[in-house]
């Protein structure tokens, strides 16, 4: 129970980070975490729903991968729960899934701008992520059943993030923190790509030598320190 309490608090914080950074500014979006062979914790909606910016640990509920709510009290699972559960079924390397609706990410894709490694030391993890390619699921639908979710998972493949055209993104990670930070990197890259295009420029890939020169700064910096910054930047919950 102690572990579940800590995990609920972490997911609630992750939802608030997504909202604070503009990736999920309203009531849409959710975060999940695998907690067993066939269960996950996921941000649900309760009778006093106010949006991700106001998420509390009590909003995070235990469900099965088949969508069965194991805790009641008036909460409902997200309509797009299959988006999470099909990723968790298909990818044993993934323990956390983030679904968000970042406007810049959606706009860049709709403008026909492929997200590529156009920045280097500006965001090293983002550069390496983009270098491997950011796939796109081309259907602007609510991923509300297993068939649609499997289509999205097929588009994701073995990559950490997939864009959902006209919708948002799904980011994965070995931890909640990693999944959120990957979503942040993709949205930062999308914003930069849009800025270059608005300025009349053409987003161009880094030279291979520059990309190869970018070091792995280690999880202590790219994950732990970056996550502490995100949490410290949060406004208090009212």
Residues recognised as catalytic = 80
Three-state secondary structure call for residue 58:
helix
Of 87, 116, 102, 110, whose CA–CA distance to 169 is shortest? 102
Dihedral sign, Cα of residue 33, residue 35, residue 39, residue 44: negative
CA dist 124 to 131, 156, 177, 182, 221, Å?
11, 22, 17, 11, 11
Alpha-carbon span 202 to 221, nearest angstrom: 31
Neighbours of 65 (CB within 10 A): 19
Q: Are 46 and 75 in contact (CB under 8 A)?
A: yes
Tokens of 188: 């930062």
Tokens of 171: 């980011």
């Amino acid at each position: 129970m102690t572990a579940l309490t800590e995990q609920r608090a972490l997911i609630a914080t992750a939802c608030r980070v997504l909202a604070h950074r503009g990736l999920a500014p309203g009531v849409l979006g959710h975060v999940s975490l695998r907690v067993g062979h066939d269960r996950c914790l996921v941000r649900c909606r309760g009778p006093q729903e106010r949006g991700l910016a106001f998420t509390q640990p009590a909003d995070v509920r235990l469900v099965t991968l088949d969508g069965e709510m194991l805790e009641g009290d008036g909460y409902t699972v997200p309509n797009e729960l299959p988006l999470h559960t099909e990723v968790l079924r298909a990818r044993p390397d993934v323990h956390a899934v983030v679904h968000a609706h970042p406007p810049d990410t959606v706009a860049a894709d709709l403008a026909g701008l492929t997200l590529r490694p156009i920045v280097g030391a500006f965001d090293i993890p983002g550069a390496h992520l983009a270098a491997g390619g950011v796939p796109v699921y081309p259907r602007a639908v609510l991923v509300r059943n297993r068939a649609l979710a499997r289509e999205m998972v097929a588009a994701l493949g073995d990559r950490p993030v997939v864009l959902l055209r006209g919708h948002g993104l799904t980011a994965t990670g070995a931890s909640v923190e990693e999944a959120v930070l990957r979503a942040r990197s993709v949205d930062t890259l999308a914003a930069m790509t849009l800025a270059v295009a608005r300025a009349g420029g053409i987003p161009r890939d880094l030279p291979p030598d520059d990309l190869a020169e970018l070091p792995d700064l280690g999880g202590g910096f790219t994950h732990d320190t970056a996550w502490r910054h995100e949490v410290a930047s949060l406004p208090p919950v009212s």
